[in-house]
Chains A and B, each alone.
Chain A
């Protein structure tokens, strides 16, 4: 296959970026999208030009490092996969493909197609855990957990933190990402003691990072490579209002 790529090139967050067109030639339909970019980068390197910078690592859809906004969709046109799992057989010969970085105020550009998603880490640091130290915990079977609850918690826990939900959202909201962790721990008995502290701390940090508000459009759910459900957001809102209205404990997040 031969393709034309319109790729966003930007040196860093301080300089302006622009689209640059490249030819991708002799592309095999069995290649992954990132392998196609590898081919383009190899030819750029041979010419002494600077290769296109993009984030990637595991190339099997689980590390969450790859991103790319492809023809207007985070992780490309197919549902339920990441960019590294997208294969060139999805495209047709002669097609022009537009490749952009995630665009959100809370995700500044690092270089070209790579962005800074450290805001996600800071939200997790604010409360995405159960406060247990190593050692001194009960036996793994001490607390039975209904299979359906464990399975549902697992479904939320599969979030890979890639940021596609933010990229898909017109408001660049991070509600799906944040709610996935809150739902996972909120469903499990181990997460109960800190359930209402957690939701307040994480939401406060989310707001501080500059993510937008949720309008229940559902673009995040449609584009999530792990198919995290919108019901996670409903559960988070439920816990949040419950915490603010009915719980004694109010968390004032201190700066850190």
Chain B
């Protein structure tokens, strides 16, 4: 099978407009004859469900939480980018496009990214119209701040809770359609498989998490908006429930998985305190607007800080190394996330890490407080400082924060073409669930932009084209494919419930996380990855022998839910290793130690690796097959990223 990204012809800036005109439409009276299934109700899912409901389609939306409002988009802190140029500081659609392509280390599709930059401006308007209370200036107009990887202020925000406010906006639009009867909402339902008929996605199988009922649902198309897979690392900034199951089961039914090894390690998270840790908490990138990152200049001073015989504020100015400002004077503390993370790791490896464990550097607000006053700093970042105090019992107004990188986002995901269609016709992937727009590294404040772009402004057009072509002929669950897939799901659940071994699924998950973080984290080597592959295969075999799953299917059973997710994470982990092994270059968040510049920056190999890796599942315990989508660049010139 050759991959066709279906990128429209014509000049870059006109592709989307032309494509929208070329796409087929479904007339208003016919829309109600189509049933659309949407899985996940974060920014991508809720915005898609609301918009498709408004257009007149019948939508069934599913989420595993007790309410669509709790999807993990809610936890995004910093902001959302848009090329509004309200600040008159030189921003434009092309600049947002350019920054995103460059930030992604030239591993994203030009056409997708340009479309994203184009619709970014509509997103802000839409959210304001819904009553999203963005931060404003005294004159009443919208305020902006800066984020990493850009030299303009284009980030819109709502204190440190932008994701919450945008999601509640989308949730309110969704609620309006539920009230209107156009969307039927299924909460506490987990999707466990995709049903395909003649190669097209025609429905899903779900488990009702209250009763254990395994149900089938039919539709003309299925949209997966189920987020990313950072929890393959066990510890990440994702919610505990965030999982890859929906995407992974779709992958096993024929949807190719794109760039699985592209993961983002966020530089500013609260360091790990012990083995009990269940998740990590992010401190928004917006803090790098005013916070200065530093480590002590010498190992000796670092040792005193670790022992607690010296306090951070007692370290003399001359003994501090503001390493990001020193190495990257043009971008300073606002270099992209992958660069900031790797530099923090370097400090720790040189023995200059701080905090009890030595796995941390400082993020210091002393200068900002001197310059702006504590009140202003509080107004800007108060809720983040409060979060830090809660978790660490330390006061960042007095002592610098301790921060360390943590897994935060996955750029990889289901491969989709320009229309957001996976390799299974009728199955679409939106938001973090797809691989599309961020290349090998996502810039801050771009995830919210992409989720809402896909849901509000892209899928309503591209889905119509597919629906118009297949026609409104009713799809229902009486087709034998539904019963067959349902039986597969039941068999899988029975297999899990039969596990009465000695180790909890949580213990397996933690072990998987250790392997992934150690060998497929911030720095990857051929040797380490090969070792990790063996470890994961052994872990998988052991899981299916020795795991413990308690309870029954016909009840609320968190143990069963977790077991299914961990089993899928283990399989995904192996594919990530394969992908990381195959990609011998470094790019963005994927750092192969063997491929670096003299200064230790990621060194790409454009001649051999300027492609998207799309993996095809070939059967249980079989190696997956690699397909390549060559990336071509017309508008930007590929160069070594330089933030100095």
Contact = CB atoms under 8 A, between A and B. Distances in A.
B168 interface: yes
Given A34-B278, A144-B141, A157-B165, A129 B125 contact: no
B65 A35 contact: no
A114 interface: yes
A50 B66 contact: no
Contacts of A85: 387, 390-391
Nearest to B282: A60
Which of A48, A53, A81 has the most chain B CB atoms inside 10 A of its CB? A53
Contacts of A20: none
Nearest to A29: B393
A208 to B, nearest CB: 14
Contact of A45 (B131, B278, B504): B504
Interface in A13-45: 28, 30-32, 34-35, 38-39, 42, 45
Interface string A96-116: 000000000000001100101
A30 B278 CA distance: 12
A209 interface: no
B441 to A, nearest CB: 23
Nearest to B393: A89
A237 interface: no
A53 B209 CA distance: 12
A87 B135 CA distance: 31
Interface residues of B, number: 84
A153 B460 CA distance: 30
Contacts of A38: 276, 278, 506
B550 interface: yes
What does DSSP make chain A's interface, helix, strand, loop or mixed? loop
A64 to B, nearest CB: 6
Contact of A63 (B137, B239, B556): B239
A46 B504 contact: yes
A147 B68 contact: no
B129 A137 contact: yes
Interface in A198-218: none
B241 A57 contact: yes
Contacts of A12: 555-556
B536 interface: no
Given A129-B130, A134-B51, A62 B164 contact: yes
A139 interface: yes
B136 A190 contact: no
B126 interface: yes
B278 A59 contact: yes
Given A118-B187, A140-B128, A53 B140 contact: no
Contacts of A80: 386
Contacts of B240: 56-59
B138 interface: yes
A147 B138 contact: yes
Identify which of A12, A57, A114, A121 gathers the most chain B CB atoms within 10 Å of its CB: A57
B129 A57 contact: no
17 contacts: A42-B504, A42-B507, A51-B559, A58-B70, A60-B279, A62-B161, A85-B391, A110-B210, A114-B556, A124-B175, A126-B179, A129-B172, A132-B129, A138-B129, A141-B86, A161-B70, A190-B129
Interface of B: 47, 50-51, 54, 65-70, 72, 74-75, 84, 86, 122, 124-142, 156, 158-159, 161, 164-165, 168, 171-173, 175-176, 178-179, 181, 185, 187, 210, 239-241, 273-274, 276-279, 281-282, 386-387, 390-391, 393, 456-457, 460, 500, 502, 504, 506-507, 548, 550-551, 555-556, 558-559
